[in-house]
Amino acid sequence: MRKTLLVLTAAAAALALAGQAAAHARLITGSPKAGATVAAPRELALHYSESIEPGASHVTVTGPSGAAVATGPLSLDAKDKRLVHVPFTAPPAHGAYKVNWHMKTEDGHETDGDFGFTVK
């Protein structure tokens, strides 16, 4: 019985670690936050669960008219490769915005998602 319990515990631990290793990056938080109403932001700051490969990642922002909003190049934070900065080239006008992101992590996994915010 004890040997069976030991084998089952070891198998469960191996499966748990394998699941963590295969997990894709996820957006932990953004600034502006999803669903927030904010003053016109100067940039998007997106914090992910894994380090990001900037050359293979991109963010697009759609404005109230449905047209793409001009942004500067995506860059990583100097101290945290999980934190992505995307500056707006001009302050966003009042209205609803949608952010679409596609990220490639340093380990080669790709993931994407979207969220919205409103400028008051």
Would you say 84 and 76 are in contact if contact means Cβ atoms under 8 Å apart? Answer: yes
Q: What percent of the chain has pLDDT over 90?
A: 79
pLDDT-derived band at 2 (thresholds 50, 70, 90) equals low
Give the residue-averaged pLDDT of 91-120.
Answer: 97
Q: Considering the entire predicted model, what is its pTM?
A: 0.79
Q: Which residue has the higher pLDDT, 10 or 67?
A: 67
List, in order, residues 6 or more apart from 112 with CB less than 8 Å away: 100, 101, 102, 103
**CATH (residue range 25-119):** 2.60.40.1220
Q: Mean pLDDT of all residues in the chain?
A: 88
Distance (Å) of CA 104 to CA 10, 18, 100, 112, 114 = 32, 20, 14, 9, 15
Question: Where are the alpha helices (H) located in the chain, listed in sequence order?
Answer: 2-22
Query: Per-domain residue ranges for the chain?
Result: 25-119
Query: What is the pLDDT at residue 6?
Result: 43
Q: Please name the amino acid found at residue 18.
A: A
**Tokens standing for residue 16:** 């748990």
